[in-house]
Amino acid sequence: MSLLSVSNTLNVGLHSSGLSEGGVTVDFDATLVVQIVLFIVLLVILKPLLFEPMLKLFEEREKRIEGTRREASKEDERSAKALAKYEAALAKAREAGAAERDALRAEGVRKEAEVMAGVRSATATTIEQGRAALAGEAKRTRAELATEAAVLGRTIASQVLGREVSQ
């Protein structure tokens, strides 16, 4: 039976039964058997030529993907370890820097205290020398003023009294 006769049979079956829509009448004849045989032959031929190599390619691709994922996860672990090591070294460096800063700060405070003590001592010595000098100068000036006061007093008394005053 040819394809034309199958087509005509289907058309006649549709029009004669009055089913333009809905069910289809199908004749099971030798063409169905030929199609099944062709399908099986193609399956037998294409399986080793096409399907199995494709499945092997897919499997190989999956293996590569899994390998790459495992490698990526190992790299992630290595990078996490490296980051932890870096952070530990950084923390240690910060700690050492803080200790050095504190030591330098303490040294600076100690030197400042030494300098301030020296300045205070020098200032106190200068002030004492100045006070001693002022006291000596005041004593000398008082002695000079006492002698001048006596002379000035006689002079004033002579002018007030209009005569010479003796000592």
Tens of pLDDT along 15-51? 444 445 678 887 788 898 999 999 999 999 999 999 9
Domain count along the chain: 1
- pLDDT at residue 28, as a whole number: 82
Range of the domain at 26: 3-161
24 in Cβ contact with 15 (< 8 Å): no
Query: Does some domain include residue 167?
Result: no
166 within some domain: no
Residue 134 to residue 137: CA distance in whole angstroms: 5
Task: Please count the other Cβ atoms lying within 10 Å of the Cβ belonging to residue 62.
Answer: 10
d(CA 143, CA 149): 10
Is 36 part of a structural domain of the chain?
yes
Nearest-Å Rg of the Cα atoms of the chain is 62
Residue 130 is assigned to a structural domain of this protein: yes
Euclidean distance between the first and the last CA atom of the chain, given in angstroms as a whole number: 178
Residue 3: what pLDDT? 46
Rounded Cα–Cα distance for residues 143 and 137 (Å)? 10
Question: Does residue 81 form part of some domain?
Answer: yes
For the chain (167 residues), the mean pLDDT of every run of 10, in chain order, is: 48 48 80 94 94 95 95 95 96 96 95 94 94 92 88 85 77
